[in-house]
């Protein structure tokens, strides 16, 4: 059985691998939850059930980014932005936080610095990281080393524990009140309980340790993190999961070096940041040899996905890059990944051919597929009936034409299906009566006719799902007595 991520999106049953519907993050409902998601960062609060009302916040629109960048360049403040050297060696950044002063005598501090420094030198060299900032006293690395070496807990901790304290301290300095090119004024973290204290790093806010008290997860969503991520995160040898959703982290160019030295990372979640890549995803992701989940929605990804990259991401199970600027086709190397379960690419500029998507052999493990608001068109192919594990399908605002194929009745695990705002025609197939686990079906904004199959009505009515919905254009579709919403 495949290794399961530590998050909540996967579960196992004794006889076969099953997958949960995603009740958290963005995926209990493509409208309600996405609205809730970015309204935490936007003053708008529009709850209409239409993707047209869910545009990217202004600060994530490309024209806004280019305008800000231009103004910053004109004003000449680029020098105060993040240097983004791959080991974080830029000493020109302002001090975001003062570290506690050493508790030991200078002689002991220096001895501890030398001892820990020798260990770090070996690790930096092995990873190709720049060692120079560690030896300086005024860099983030140098300050972190002095802080750890000067702590009264230094001699009580193992070498591995002191290295973890060092790496996390560097991370804290890099992301605490650090302005950058797209963020002129940075705030403090919203909360940093126990950080930089003498307590075990396992009780520092957002840190989850394994049974050996080694850092396994860093979970700091909605914490006002800024700056960039330092390469020192790679010194956390057992780190498997990072979640920095909805922060102000700026990743571009050489800062992506970090990903080349994170071969054991399983889950990378950085939705709603300033994560920039000009080739769809950073080429440096080739180093994520064990990655199972990549979630980078609401960022500044542009260009086309490089198919060759996915040849090195054979463990990928979850790819989420919604509301970016990626164009071109979905590469065949992505579509043939053996373990890809969740694929969310809505609101980009992809050109998607449904005949290719649903070609036999593609997406062999797919469970949830959301491709709305891209360039799609055409009709739903009959081969969709081959995808009997598919449980969540969203293809809205895609100019789909033609009928709903009767083969869709073969999707016996379907629970949530959104096909609204297309040009679909003809009756709703009675074969959809096979969808006995159905929770959501939204078909409004089409030219469908006939009656809603009664078993479809019964399935949605019996569902205990919070957002259960059955919607249609009730003037054309006989659904008045069972639809939860009529249009």
For residue 408, being part of any structural domain is answered with yes
Question: Would residue 404 count as lying in a domain?
Answer: yes
Q: What's the CA gap between 218 and 239, in Å, rounded?
A: 8
412 is a domain residue: yes
Which of 92, 124, 73, 39 has its CA nearest to residue 227?
92
pLDDT of residue 419: 98
The Cβ-side half-sphere exposure at 477, using a 13 Å CA radius, reads 28
Terminal CA-to-CA distance of the chain, rounded, Å? 45
pLDDT in tens, 48-104: 333 333 444 444 555 555 554 454 343 333 333 333 333 333 334 444 889 999 999
Question: What is the pLDDT at residue 78?
Answer: 34
Indicate whether 249 belongs to any domain: no
pLDDT above 70: percentage of residues in the chain: 80
- pLDDT value of position 380: 98
Q: Residue 130 falls within a domain, yes or no?
A: no
**Predicted local confidence at residue 184, as pLDDT:** 87
pLDDT at 124 over 70: yes
Residues 366-422: tens digit of each pLDDT: 999 999 999 998 999 999 999 999 999 999 999 999 999 999 999 999 999 999 999
303 has pLDDT over 80? yes
- Res 83: pLDDT: 32
Tell me if 190 is assigned to some domain.
Answer: no
How is residue 334 written in tokens?
């992505």
d(CA 351, CA 19): 28
Nearest-10 crossing angle of helices 106-127, 159-175: 80
Residue 430's pLDDT is 97
Res. 238: pLDDT tops 90:
yes
User: Which pLDDT tens digit goes with each residue over 424-476?
Assistant: 999 999 999 999 999 999 999 999 999 999 999 999 999 999 999 999 999 99
Domain count, the chain: 1
**Average pLDDT over every residue of 320-328:** 97
Structural domain boundaries enclosing 431: 383-486
| Residue 72, domain member (yes or no) | no
* Residue 264 near residue 290 (C-beta atoms within 8 A): yes
Element holding 108 (H helix, E strand): helix 106-127
What is the rounded distance in angstroms from the CA atom of residue 84 to the CA atom of residue 426? 56
Per residue in 182-213, pLDDT (tens digit) is 888 899 999 999 999 999 999 999 999 999 99
CATH (domain of 461): 3.80.10.10
Structural domain contains residue 345: no
């Amino acid at each position: 059985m495949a290794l399961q991520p530590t998050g909540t999106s996967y579960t196992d049953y004794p006889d076969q691998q099953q997958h949960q519907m995603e009740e958290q993050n963005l995926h209990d409902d493509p409208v309600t939850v996405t609205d809730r998601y970015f309204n935490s960062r936007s003053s708008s609060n529009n709850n209409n059930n239409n993707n047209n009302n869910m545009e990217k916040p202004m600060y994530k629109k490309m024209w806004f980014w280019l305008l800000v960048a231009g103004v910053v360049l004109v004003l000449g403040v680029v020098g105060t932005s993040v240097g983004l050297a791959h080991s974080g060696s830029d000493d020109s950044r302002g001090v975001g936080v003062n570290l506690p002063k050493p508790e030991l005598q200078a002689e002991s501090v220096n001895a501890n610095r030398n001892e820990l420094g020798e260990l770090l030198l070996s690790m930096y060299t092995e990873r190709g990281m720049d060692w120079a900032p560690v030896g300086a006293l005024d860099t983030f690395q140098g300050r972190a080393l002095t802080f750890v070496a000067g702590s009264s807990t230094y001699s009580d901790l193992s070498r591995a524990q002191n290295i973890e304290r060092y790496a996390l301290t560097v991370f804290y300095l890099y992301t605490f009140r650090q302005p950058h090119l797209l963020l002129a004024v940075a705030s403090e973290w919203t909360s940093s309980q126990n950080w930089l204290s003498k307590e075990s790093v396992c009780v520092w806010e957002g840190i989850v340790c394994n049974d050996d008290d080694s850092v396994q997860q860093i979970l700091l969503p909605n914490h006002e993190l800024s700056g960039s991520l330092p390469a020192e995160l790679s010194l956390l040898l057992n780190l498997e999961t990072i979640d920095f959703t909805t922060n102000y982290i700026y990743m571009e160019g050489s800062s992506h070096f970090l990903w080349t030295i994170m071969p054991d990372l399983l889950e990378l979640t950085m939705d709603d940041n300033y994560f920039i890549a000009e080739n769809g995803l950073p080429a440096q992701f080739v180093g994520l040899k064990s990655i199972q989940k990549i979630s980078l929605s609401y960022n500044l990804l542009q260009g086309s996905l490089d198919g060759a990259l996915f040849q090195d991401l054979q463990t990928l199970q979850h790819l989420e890059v919604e509301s970016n600027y990626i164009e071109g086709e979905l590469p065949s190397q992505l579509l043939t990944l053996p373990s890809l379960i969740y694929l969310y690419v809505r609101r980009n500029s992809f050109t998607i051919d449904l005949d290719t998507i649903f070609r036999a052999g593609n997406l062999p493990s797919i469970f949830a597929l959301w491709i709305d608001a891209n360039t799609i068109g055409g009709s739903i192919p009959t081969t969709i009936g081959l995808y009997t594990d598919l449980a969540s399908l969203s293809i809205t605002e895609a100019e789909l034409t033609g009928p709903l194929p009767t083969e869709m009745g073969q999707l016996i695990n379907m629970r949530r299906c959104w096909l609204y705002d297309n040009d679909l025609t003809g009756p709703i197939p009675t074969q959809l009566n096979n969808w006995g686990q159905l929770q959501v079906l939204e078909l409004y904004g089409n030219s469908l006719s006939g009656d809603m199959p009664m078993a479809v009505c019964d399935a949605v009515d019996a569902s205990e799902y919070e957002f259960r919905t059955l919607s249609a254009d009730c003037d054309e579709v006989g659904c008045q007595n069972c639809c939860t919403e009529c249009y």
